[in-house]
Homo-oligomer: A and B are copies of this chain.
């Protein structure tokens, strides 16, 4: 098992990564304020892993309420959130009940937001079962639900008590979701970790082949990069925004296509190519750099072109993203490979041209 810490003063918490951690309930029970949890999962993950988790907790004397949700991005809605509230209230769960998120990013974001708002806040623990959740969404305390006008528009910062990432759960992950997780892994290399980017260029096929050692290394390195950023800027006043490389373009793709049509990581991948292309137009990246970004994402079996929407529609949907300040679009771009920056107001024409260049190619599907 590899362990690291997210340093946030009295809200610091551990991240544990390794095979078989679902069979180690003490990683969870050691953090509980009371021996009562509600495990939230979905209809895909629950049949695979919920019983193993429940059994371990029950054997340790923990009362377990189970909440199984439908699968998919459409689940990240007020209706599902309300279903969680209803179940918690019907089971008379109290302020000392800890919510446990067993699943991917959707389950984690929803469960975290339920924990942030149930009775004005209860503790929660992340047990991520997808690569994307293990390397990104389970760490850092961003929680929320979608709104018809924008993804994650409603939410809260609410840090978990612990993150327990059992790498064995990746054995059952569909290939498409493994690739979606790799988009975020590659992101860490691009924004602040050139040696990791180079490691990924050397080892990508090991990750696609689900080599346990390679996956554990990539997850640990990703979590360490994220933990460092979150510790420095918990509420995204500054450098945390760098984690959104490709995300503003990506949100436009997800919103434009309807939530769930593209996986988040797929939209981020295409958005990252757009960000790289825009960085090139601003004179920061060389054409070869953009090609290097595109090639690595393509090797990870990710889309490297956006869907065929009008560039103006992209821009309109990007304006609803949270990365807007004073009416100006702020975009995370690349000053060079391994070093991201925030561009306060890139020229509109350059943004449209970068979108057009990348949306025109065929790359998804």
- Which A residues are closer than 8 A to B by beta carbons? 34, 78, 82, 85-86, 89-90, 92, 94-96, 116-121, 142-144, 147, 149-150, 152-157, 235, 319-320, 322, 324-327
Contact = CB atoms under 8 A, between A and B. Distances in A.
Contacts of A120: 142-144, 152, 155-157, 235, 322
B324 A92 contact: yes
A150 B89 CA distance: 9
A95 B120 CA distance: 21
B153 A89 contact: yes
B34 A326 contact: yes
Contact of A118 (B94, B121, B153): B153
A147 B96 contact: no
Contacts of A153: 85, 89, 118-119
Contacts of A322: 94-95, 119-120
A95 B326 CA distance: 9
A320 B92 contact: yes
B34 A154 contact: no
Given A142-B120, A156-B121, A325 B94 contact: yes
A248 to B, nearest CB: 14
Contacts of A78: 78, 82
B147 A320 contact: no
Given A120-B156, A121-B235, A157-B121, A324 B94 contact: yes
A155 B320 contact: no
A156 B114 CA distance: 11
Contacts of A34: 326
8 contacts: A89-B147, A89-B320, A90-B149, A92-B320, A116-B156, A117-B117, A117-B154, A119-B153
A2 to B, nearest CB: 29
Given A319-B92, A325-B96, A118 B154 contact: yes
